[in-house]
Amino acid sequence: MSDADDLLAAYDAQLRGAPEIRAAARPFRLGPLWIGVLAGTEGFIGYRDLGGLAAGGVRGLVRAATAVLAADAAVARIEWKTRQHDAAPGLHDALLEAGYEPQEAESIMIGAAELLALDLPVPDGVVLRSVTEPADVRRASFAADLAFGEEPDEARAAELVERIATGDDEMWIAEIDGDVVCTGRLSPVPGTRFAGIWGGATRADQRHRGIYRALTAARARSALGRGVRFINSDSTEHSRPILERSGFTKVSSTTPYEWHR
């Protein structure tokens, strides 16, 4: 499975819908939508397809799904995840009407795990390791928030601590003199040969040194040890070129739309 169309078909069939909300609290369905609450305060809405709805039906679905999540006073933010290749007439306008704002588009990258599982040199003074202790996972979560230009999110960190504690996901960090300068998560998808690499964030003053690439290689080697065959990632323009040089394929793009209370 190397053709871009085959990779995209596998992505749609195996990685969308239920797998996206497997860690969510109170997951439920609304028509073709898969909905859940992450980290206690973050609503998520995804789907495999919109069932052939016309623009009017899409508008009604957006309103209904948003109303359900907004009725939970604890939900402060909702993400509606869109993909460029979907048939979704009127979705952009419907989301804007419902108060969502489009965020930066990301490239959906897929490739064989062995393409990334290289024995790369680690830059001088950098230590790579997988962490499971709650204090380390929290430090990693806060460092990623800051690298993405956000304030440290306590609820997100707490959810990540729980997720790593199950042993299903792995959290990797790169440190310099004990400070976290790069983070990344490995998330195998049960029932598939896929694993996602998420949360790849490098502190601005440490970019372009090969730290992210070395951390990604470490995650890929661990993925192979788990029996993973393919790795997927929603990549920013910082990480997309790194994966492309490693032989990964861009199969589509994804744009999250966010609603804030």
CATH number at residue 14: 3.40.630
Query: Which phi and psi angles does 54 have, rounded to 5°?
Result: -80, 175
Q: Is residue 221 part of a domain?
A: yes
* Tokens matching residue 5: 């169309």
Q: Is residue 261 part of a domain?
A: no
Cα distance between residue 249 and residue 246, in whole Å:
9
Q: Is residue 147 part of a domain?
A: yes
Q: What is the pLDDT of residue 2?
A: 59
Q: What is the pLDDT of residue 1?
A: 54
* Tokens matching residue 176: 């310099």
Same domain, 169 and 69: no
Q: What is the pTM of this model?
A: 0.89
Same domain, 9 and 61: yes
Q: Is residue 260 part of a domain?
A: no
Same domain, 99 and 35: yes
Q: Is residue 118 part of a domain?
A: yes
Q: What is the pLDDT of residue 178?
A: 94
* Tokens matching residue 80: 């509606």
Q: Is residue 259 part of a domain?
A: no
Q: Domain boundary at 81, 107, 133, which?
A: 107
Cα distance between residue 65 and residue 82, in whole Å:
14
Cα distance between residue 243 and residue 136, in whole Å:
27
Domain that holds residue 227: 111-253
Q: Is residue 142 part of a domain?
A: yes
Q: Domain boundary at 80, 107, 134, which?
A: 107
R_g of the chain computed on alpha carbons = 18
Q: Is residue 64 part of a domain?
A: yes
Same domain, 21 and 119: no
Ranges of residues in the chain with a pLDDT under 70 are 1-2
Judge contact between 49 and 33, C-beta under 8 A: no
Among residues 209, 212, 223, which one has the least CA distance to residue 173?
Answer: 212
Q: Domain boundary at 107, 126, 154, which?
A: 107
